[in-house]
Amino acid sequence: MNDFNAHVQRIGGNVGVSLRGACTDAVAARQLECALQEAIASRLLVVWIDCQRLMPMTWQGQRAILNADRLAHVNGVTLHWCGMSGAVLEQLAASGLNLLLCLQPAANYKGPPLLLQDQFPDSTQSRFLYNK
């Protein structure tokens, strides 16, 4: 089983979320949803989500993504899901969730660049949520 981590960072008028690992159970799904809720609560119009290290997920992870996307829509926020792998995109296509999301290639990510690093430095200003 792969660990799931969600990292949130806001720098000025820019907020991003990095999703890493496999969202395969209710605990991980709640972690994903809480991280996205925090980013949406920043009251910025756009949230950039780095999904390059997001691994295939269960229905619980997909449900968390759907819930977060609905919350964003209600609050006038656009979530840009960047760099999802082919395996994750296939899962989303099978459920139809891909039709509801603003999917972007990894190159379009415009969130905090620190979230793209392989490892986060200890001195980071990121808020690390729910490291499982």
Give pTM, 2 decimals: 0.88
Domain ranges of the chain: 4-118
pLDDT of the chain, 132 residues: tens digit per residue? 458 999 999 988 999 999 999 999 999 999 999 999 999 999 899 999 999 999 999 999 999 999 999 999 999 999 999 999 999 999 999 999 999 999 999 999 999 998 988 875 554 444 444 333
CA distances from 10 to 24, 45, 111, 128 (A): 27, 13, 9, 12
Which CATH number does 4-118 carry? 3.30.750.24
What are the structure tokens assigned to 17, written together? 């979320």
